[in-house]
């Protein structure tokens, strides 16, 4: 494999490194931040979901900007904007301020994530795509690996504000690498006009739907208002869908879901991604609040999942060649279910070595499923539709992760109520049902994966 096809995936995956570092560091630091801002730790998940929702809402803009100004230029500007948002988050004094600055940070992330993937798809030939996608997973795996331990060390040794400020030097490195190694990809000299009405409808639908889910069980809004938000979200989403079917150049072309492998990646991958979003939120809280571990000890254990994800690079290409995409997806999904259910069986007396090894294996099988989906999902997409495909894929990913955090917080809240405790005094038993539900939900992915043909993606092996 030529060195260029390793360097480019590493550079364009830098935003995923920043995002995973940011999210995993923050998840480890949640109890400390909640204490500093004097808010409930489960309410603080607003700072995570606001960022992920902002990503999803502003992602459609990224494809149009990439076509209008060129992918490389937009990529560098987006990383710079993300770094600025991180700086402001580090200066936040209240939860509303932190949520607002996380939204700004998400706007930068929304531009850099799909544009980076678009650069990769336009720069690497199909024959090298499996290997390139494996290298593409290395930076985010390092982000997940360093994040828990790094976050635990930061909040133990210094102020939690540094968990945001550390993004700045990494952002500068990503910009320098893009300027040096990525060629100038052509922009569209006459892009379609930006669909402002479609953007407003889509943003309103996503924000209202996820916002209503986020408010469930938190007593922050009246129940009638929550139901009204949900209704507005459903109505706006339906109007957008009906309106987009009659447009020649819709903001997000849902017609690309007719490609079977892409449909399996988006729809089939959603339950898996929801679980992946819930786990980094639930595990640090269970280990710190339920088991009484320090942030540093918690981070040392949860980094095992990222270490397992990083190990995927050594086995992925051989596994695909040996069993094929469909068998690998089915097997990895079943093993993922078992791993998440087993997380719920952890107890304060469980040996740390056992927890570490279980999380290590869970990270490995999770990553194998995700790499398979990312590679296979785009195999049928024509190049002119690639911008729509990468944007919708990134939207689905961020929405799924956000739903995972929201679902995890809701399940823990319900379990605490059932067990007669409060969210301010969570115990280990409050987390077990959440992992059980999340694990069982991943099996829904099999409904899509089993419909794939046995030799699907044979040309990519």
CATH class of the domain comprising 4-181+251-460: mainly alpha
**HEC string for 365-412:** HHHHHHHHHHHHHCCCCCHHHHHHHHHHHHHHHHHHHHHHHHHHHHHH
The DSSP symbol for 44 reads: G
Q: How confident is the model at residue 218 (pLDDT cuts 50, 70, 90)?
A: low
Cα separation, 141 vs 439, in Å, equals 21
Angle at the Cα of 412 from the Cα atoms of 408 and 414, rounded to 5 degrees: 120
Q: What share of the chain is helix, strand, coil (3-state, %, to 5)?
A: 80, 0, 20
pLDDT at 194: 77
Mean pLDDT calculated for residue range 193-218: 79
Q: What Rg, from alpha-carbon coordinates, does the chain have?
A: 21
Spatial contact of 55 and 110, defined as CB atoms under 8 Å apart: yes
Per-residue pLDDT for 267 more than 70?
yes
Helices vs. strands in the chain: H and E counts, helices first? 19, 0
| pLDDT per residue as tens digits for the range 368-411 | 888 888 778 777 777 777 777 877 887 788 778 878 888 888 88
Q: Which CA distances in Å does 63 have to 15, 162, 378?
A: 16, 32, 16
pLDDT at 158: 82
| pLDDT per residue as tens digits for the range 318-327 | 777 778 888 8
Mean pLDDT calculated for residue range 435-454: 90
Mean pLDDT calculated for residue range 125-132: 66
pLDDT at 207: 83
Mean pLDDT calculated for residue range 251-279: 85
The model carries a pTM of 0.75
Spatial contact of 366 and 272, defined as CB atoms under 8 Å apart: yes
Per-residue pLDDT for 1 more than 60?
no
Mean pLDDT calculated for residue range 38-61: 79
Spatial contact of 99 and 48, defined as CB atoms under 8 Å apart: no
Q: How many CB atoms lie within 10 A of CB 114?
A: 32
pLDDT at 335: 93
Q: How confident is the model at residue 11 (pLDDT cuts 50, 70, 90)?
A: confident
Cα separation, 59 vs 64, in Å, equals 10
Phi and psi dihedrals of 252, rounded to 5?
A: -125, 115
Cα separation, 450 vs 452, in Å, equals 5
Instruction: Please return the burial class of 254, using the count of CB atoms within 10 Å of its CB with bins 0-12, 13-18 and 19+.
Output: middle
Cα separation, 137 vs 17, in Å, equals 9
Mean pLDDT calculated for residue range 67-86: 84
Cα separation, 209 vs 238, in Å, equals 12
To the nearest 10°, the Cα dihedral for 21, 368, 305, 423?
Answer: 80
């Amino acid at each position: 494999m030529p060195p260029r096809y390793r360097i480019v995936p590493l550079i364009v995956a830098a935003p995923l490194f920043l995002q995973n570092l940011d999210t995993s560091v923050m998840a480890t630091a949640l109890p400390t931040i909640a204490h500093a801002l004097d808010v409930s730790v489960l309410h603080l998940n607003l700072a995570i979901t606001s960022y992920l929702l902002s990503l999803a809402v502003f992602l459609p803009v990224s494809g149009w900007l990439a076509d209008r100004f060129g992918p490389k230029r937009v990529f560098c500007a987006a990383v710079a904007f993300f770094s600025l948002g991180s700086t402001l988050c580090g200066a936040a004094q209240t939860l509303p301020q932190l949520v607002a600055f996380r939204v700004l940070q998400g706007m930068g992330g929304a531009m850099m994530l799909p544009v980076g993937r678009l650069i990769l798809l336009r720069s690497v030939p199909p024959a090298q795509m499996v290997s390139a996608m494996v290298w593409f997973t290395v930076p985010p795996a390092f982000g997940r690996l360093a994040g828990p331990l790094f976050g635990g060390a930061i909040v133990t040794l210094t102020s939690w504000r540094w968990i945001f400020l550390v993004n700045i030097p990494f952002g500068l490195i990503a910009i320098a690498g893009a300027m040096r190694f990525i060629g100038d990809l052509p922009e569209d000299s006459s892009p379609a006009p930006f669909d402002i009405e479609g953007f407003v409808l889509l943003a309103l639908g996503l924000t209202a739907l996820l916002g209503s889910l986020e408010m469930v069980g938190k007593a922050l809004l009246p129940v009638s208002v929550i139901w009204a938000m949900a209704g507005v979200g459903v109505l706006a989403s339906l109007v957008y869908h009906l309106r987009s079917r009659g447009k020649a150049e819709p903001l997000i072309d849902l017609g690309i879901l007719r490609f079977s492998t892409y449909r399996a990646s988006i729809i089939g991958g959603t339950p898996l991604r929801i679980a992946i979003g819930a786990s980094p939120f639930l595990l640090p809280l269970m280990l710190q609040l339920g088991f009484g571990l320090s942030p540093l000890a918690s981070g040392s254990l949860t980094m095992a999942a990222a270490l397992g994800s990083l190990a995927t690079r050594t086995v992925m290409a051989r596994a695909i060649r040996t069993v094929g995409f469909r068998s690998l997806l089915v097997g990895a999904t079943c093993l993922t279910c078992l791993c998440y259910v087993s997380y719920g069986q952890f107890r304060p007396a469980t040996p740390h070595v056992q927890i570490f090894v279980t999380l290590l294996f869970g990270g490995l099988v999770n990553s194998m499923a995700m790499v398979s989906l990312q590679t296979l999902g785009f195999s049928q997409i024509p190049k002119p539709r690639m911008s729509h495909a990468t944007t919708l894929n990134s939207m689905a990913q961020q929405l799924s992760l956000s739903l995972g955090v929201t679902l995890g917080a809701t399940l823990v809240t319900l379990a605490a109520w059932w067990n007669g405790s409060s969210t301010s005094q969570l115990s280990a038993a409050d987390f077990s049902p959440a992992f059980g539900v999340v694990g069982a939900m991943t099996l829904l992915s099999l409904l899509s994966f089993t419909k794939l043909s046995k030799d699907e993606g044979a040309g990519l092996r």
